Structure 1
Amino acid sequence: MEKLGLTNENWDQFVKWLWDFIPGLVSAIIILIVGIWVINIISRMLRKFFKKKDYDETLEKFLYDFLNLGLKVLLVVLVVTQLGVQSSSLVAILGAAGLAVGLALQGSLANFAGGVLILFFKPFKIGDFIEAQGIQGTVKEISIFTTKLNTFGNQLAILPNGKLSNDNIINYSEEGKRRDNITIGVSYDSDIKKAKQVLLDLVNEQDKIVQDPLPVVVVTELGDSAITLSLRYWTLTEEFWDIHFYTLEEAKKRLESDGISIPFPQRDIHLYQHENIK
């Protein structure tokens, strides 16, 4: 003992402290194991409860993550308290740690607040096709801190909720239908009325195009090399792109088959010959 720098009195104090500490340590380990087991059971019960109830999927995910995190924090507090840390001291430590973590993780706290705002105001929900922060995609998941989108190319985009809740958001799915606006240029020597009728016949023969409001074709610009026609019609959101691509391709075919040309950009250049002046 003396070689280790411990006197008999110090050794006796250490052994006494160890005997006093072991029961608390064993209790803390038991509480930790039982607590994890109980949290897993509660998590499974929450999943079954949400599955039976027809709640909003976004709300279910947010509440599940929030309750699961809260239960784990409570378990850590119980375990630390069982190890002999006084409740008042623990509160003071947690307060100081919370302040330090809050200053260090201001972005995460902003994302958490953003998640709450998204959950409360519901600018979009899972399954909606949205555009935000320069990214378009279908909402796959809304969690406490981030929102995940599946892009058109099937990439996963992860957007922080803090910026997302304070940025412009375009929700293409919310209204249920969208208006398309296809612009087509026809030559100046074309029959405009005939061109407009060809385009109207094209959209009116498609059953999936909404007839209220009615499709229209208007002249929007007299350009340098063409007259610009705008074909405007409404369709259901889920059928928008299929109809758009079909209509765009068919418009070119039908206009050309009726003798209406779609000109290339062109300019008239006039050359003047001047006599040399001596």
Structure 2
Amino acid sequence: LFWFLAKLMRKFAEKIVLKRIQEESIKQMIGNIVFAITVLIGFFIALGVLELDKALTSILAGAGVVGLAIGLALQGTLSNTVSGFILSFLPKISIGDWIESNGEVGAVTEINLRNVTIKRPDNEVTIIPNSTFIDNPFTNYSTHKRSRIIVGCGVGYESDLQQVEELTVRIIGEQFEQNGDEEVEFFYTEFGDSSINFLVRFWADSSKGKDTLSHKHKAIKTIKKHFDEADINIPFPIRTLDFGKNNLTMVSQGENDGN
């Protein structure tokens, strides 16, 4: 009876409770766990009905000792497995999301009971143990379809700062449409060694790391083009070499006669 009930419980778990889990291996594992628990409950109830209390006590004691030994031996594996269950129910990460974790950036390709696999932009694959993934902060760039892009630049001290601000806000707004309460923001940040530096912030569609780089690429080209047209100087370091008052003599060795 409990065998058939366990099968029904497993199907119920896989179809109803686990709809939110995308990874098939985790679905099957949780279904099997539900099945095993139901069978064990039925087994213990049967022992109680047959009044085999002593046998039941011995089995439970033995199971406790065995369970403790297995738990100590597989501590790391069990930690990853439990973390895998937690990840399965997290609404903040799913297959295909672009994430950053422990210094690794890429698209999530697999979430199983032991690890999270991400594919980096260089096409290499990084495997992160679930316990490490859970215990450390991670950033999911795919949570929202639009992200704020930040681009920094600097202009010469002779520049008209009001003109620079108005021009930058206008050209960025023309290139990147701002929705609703979104807007292009401009802030001067510091007096640099050779420039007055600023940040421009704007919103753009971005669910992958490549999108952010593409938007920055486009914004930098746009700013440079319009600054050149408006004769706005973007300073760059110049190195001057001072060799003193003495004349320099360059001596070359060749195949001259007598050398």
**Given the alignment, which residue of 12, 19, 22 partners 1:55?**
19
Structure 2: gaps spanning 5 or more residues: 1-6, 37-55, 242-259
Shift of 1:56: 3.1
Q: For 1:22-171, what aligned pairs fall within 5 Å after superposition? A: 55-58=19-22, 60-67=24-31, 98-171=67-140
The structure with the largest helix share of the pair is 1
More moved, 57-66 vs 113-122:
57-66
The whole-number CA distance in structure 1 between the counterparts of 2:123 and 2:33 is: 30
Q: Determine helix, strand or coil for the equivalent of 1:58.
A: coil
The whole-number CA distance in structure 2 between the counterparts of 1:170 and 1:268 is: 44
The whole-number CA distance in structure 1 between the counterparts of 2:135 and 2:84 is: 11
The whole-number CA distance in structure 2 between the counterparts of 1:106 and 1:122 is: 26
Shift of 1:100: 3.4
The whole-number CA distance in structure 2 between the counterparts of 1:257 and 1:121 is: 50
Q: Determine helix, strand or coil for the equivalent of 1:157.
A: strand
Q: Determine helix, strand or coil for the equivalent of 1:245.
A: helix
1:252 aligns with 2:224: yes
What letter is aligned with 1:151? Answer: R
Paired residues in the alignment total 221
The whole-number CA distance in structure 1 between the counterparts of 2:85 and 2:118 is: 18
Shift of 1:59: 5.9
Distance 1:153 1:132, change over 3 A: same
RMSD: 3.8
1:191 aligns with 2:160: yes
Shift of 1:234: 0.9
More moved, 140-149 vs 247-256:
247-256
Check whether the contact 1:219–1:228 (CA below 8 A) recurs between aligned residues.
yes
Provide Cα deviations, 1:15-34, integer angstroms capped at 9, x if missing partner.
Answer: xxxxxxxxxxxxxxxxxxxx
The whole-number CA distance in structure 1 between the counterparts of 2:160 and 2:233 is: 10
**Given the alignment, which residue of 219, 223, 226 partners 2:195?**
226
1:261 aligns with: 233
Provide Cα deviations, 1:216-266, integer angstroms capped at 9, x if missing partner.
Answer: 211011111111110100112235433221112221222122111111136
Distance 1:71 1:206, change over 3 A: same
What letter is aligned with 1:141? Answer: E
**Given the alignment, which residue of 143, 167, 171 partners 1:202?**
171
The whole-number CA distance in structure 2 between the counterparts of 1:211 and 1:187 is: 34
Structure 1: gaps spanning 5 or more residues: 1-38, 73-86, 270-278
Provide Cα deviations, 1:95-131, integer angstroms capped at 9, x if missing partner.
Answer: 6554333222211111111112222343312221111
1:174 aligns with: 143
The whole-number CA distance in structure 2 between the counterparts of 1:199 and 1:180 is: 14
Check whether the contact 2:20–2:89 (CA below 8 A) recurs between aligned residues.
no
Q: Percent identity?
A: 29
Shift of 1:133: 1.0
Q: TM-score, normalised by structure 1?
A: 0.64
Shift of 1:164: 0.7
Higher Rg of the two aligned structures: 1
